[in-house]
Amino acid sequence: MAMVGLFWITEGCVYLGAKPAGAGPGVRLTEGGVEILGTGQGGRSWGWDEVRGLDVRDVAVRSAGRRLASMAFDSVVVLITGDGEQPPLFTVLVETEGDGTVEASVLAAVTGGIHTPDEYDLSRALLARLADGTTTVGELLRWRRDEPEDVAPAKDQRLALLREWTAATV
């Protein structure tokens, strides 16, 4: 598994945010479509032909410097209080042909739940391309299958991948 922007990519599917554990909230993107996971989220799914749009909101976005400062502060609070928190949630909006816009919550997968503006903007662009079919989940999965299992891409590599996927033509 590897995180690239807002995407948790496995060999078989892509999650927005963290891969949910048990009945935790999540959104899974497969070559067949979009699935909402987790207790109380409706368990709905749609084929790509039914999806009209994908977007996110409530994602923590900060510059690299502010992100580092926030993470350091959070670490100090946990060290002092011993009170770690669940990762923050963000919202995924799935615009569908028949159901209108459906909202689902997902857990952030990056440390502190904070993304840089570049990661966020490119991730949103990729979501739009997935929804309109100009990029496919298969492209993300092929990249993951070609990578060593235990190697996570560095920041520059992650941004390069997002740029590649948002510029790809099917």
- Is 82 among the domain residues? yes
* 3-state secondary structure labels for all residues of the chain: CEEECCEEECCCCEEECCCCCCCCCEEEECCCEEEEECCCCCCCEEEHHHEEEEEEECCEECCHHHHHHHHHHHHHHHHHHCCCCCCCEEEEEEEECCCEEEEEEEECCCHHHEECHHHHHHHHHHHHHHHHCCCCHHHHHHHHHHCCCCCCCCHHHHHHHHHHHHHCCC
Give the residue carrying structure tokens 């479509």.
33
- Is 64 among the domain residues? yes
pLDDT of residue 114: 87
The domain in which residue 55 lies consists of 2-165
Query: Do 15 and 7 meet the contact criterion of CB atoms below 8 Å apart?
Result: yes
pLDDT of residue 67: 38
pLDDT of residue 30: 97
Look up residue 66 and give its two tokens: 């502010």
- Is 98 among the domain residues? yes
Domain count for the chain, please give it: 1
CA dist., res. 86 & res. 11, Å (int)? 26
Helix 117-132 and helix 155-167, axial crossing angle in degrees, nearest 10: 30
- What's this model's pTM, rounded to 2 decimal places? 0.84
- Is 170 among the domain residues? no
Report CA 71 to chain centroid distance, whole Å: 19
Give the residue carrying structure tokens 């099917």.
170
- Is 147 among the domain residues? yes
Per-residue model confidence as pLDDT tens for the chain (170 residues): 789 999 999 989 999 999 998 888 999 999 999 999 998 887 899 999 999 999 999 999 974 443 343 444 444 333 444 455 567 899 999 999 999 999 999 999 887 778 999 999 999 999 999 999 999 999 999 999 888 776 788 889 999 999 999 996 65
